[in-house]
């Protein structure tokens, strides 16, 4: 298991174990020094204490870096959520108008209520399996309904359905300004 795959709790546990090793080895080193242990033995214990200390520092440093990165990610997510909410609020009247226009067009194609639901889910980008799951039907039913939608609308498929409603909305300002 690599250090980066450890959970926060596992890193804390590892840091605690390493700190415990450091403390125990330092106590043992002090006791061995007092009783006059040979220098090789003391150097080995000192090396062990240093290795455990380095491990402790690396684990703690990694924990702080991961916590900092997580906090930055949370802040970025909050900013994106605020941005999305602002866009939704600013665009609400346009979204409502677009929804009404789409519904009016679906009505003009004489789609049933079920076919309208499927058409909207297709526009949202759901797969036929996802549409079947959302509507509690089979994928075969969703496929048949989408075929009827394409037939009634005179469109060849999902991409033409999406383009029918979205093509003019997704043009850069320079294109729409030049066409005026």
* Res 174: pLDDT: 54
Which tokens belong to 83? Answer: 């941005």
DSSP 168: T
Does residue 100 lie in a domain region? no
Residues near 125 by beta carbon (within 8 Å), at least 6 away in sequence: none
Q: Which of 5-14, 55-64, 82-91, 124-133 has the highest mean pLDDT?
A: 124-133
pLDDT-above-70 percentage for the chain: 93
Q: Count the domains in the chain.
A: 2
* Res 105: pLDDT: 95
Q: Name the 3-class secondary structure at 172.
A: coil
Question: Are 1 and 87 members of one domain?
Answer: yes
Are the C-beta atoms of residues 155 and 161 closer than 8 Å to each other? yes
Chosen domain end from 91, 119, 144: 91
| pTM (whole model) above 0.75 | no
Domain containing residue 163: CATH number: 1.10.10.10
Question: Are 65 and 147 members of one domain?
Answer: no
Residues near 155 by beta carbon (within 8 Å), at least 6 away in sequence: 149, 161, 164
Question: Are 83 and 160 members of one domain?
Answer: no
- What digits encode the pLDDT tens for the residues 59-105? 999 999 999 999 999 999 999 999 999 988 888 888 888 889 999 99
* Res 179: pLDDT: 56
Q: What is the dihedral of CA 89, 91, 96, 101, to 10 degrees?
A: -170
Question: Are 25 and 60 members of one domain?
Answer: yes
């Amino acid at each position: 298991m690599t250090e980066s795959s450890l959970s926060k709790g596992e890193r804390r546990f590892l840091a605690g174990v390493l700190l415990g090793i450091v403390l125990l080895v330092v106590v043992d080193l002090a006791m061995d020094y007092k009783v006059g242990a040979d220098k090789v033995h003391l150097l080995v214990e000192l090396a062990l204490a240093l290795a455990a200390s380095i491990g402790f520092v690396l684990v703690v440093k990694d924990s702080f870096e991961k916590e900092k990165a997580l906090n930055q990610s949370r802040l970025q997510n909050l900013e994106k959520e605020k941005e999305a909410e602002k866009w939704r609020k600013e665009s609400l009247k346009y979204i409502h108008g677009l929804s009404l226009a789409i519904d009016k067009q679906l009505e003009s194609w004489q789609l049933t209520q079920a076919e309208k639901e499927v058409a909207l889910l297709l526009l949202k980008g759901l797969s036929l399996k996802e549409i079947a799951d959302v509507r509690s039907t089979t994928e075969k039913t969703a496929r048949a309904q989408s075929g009827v939608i394409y037939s009634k609308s005179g469109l060849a498929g999902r991409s033409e359905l999406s383009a029918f409603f979205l093509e003019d909305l997704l043009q850069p300002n320079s294109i729409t300004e030049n066409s005026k």
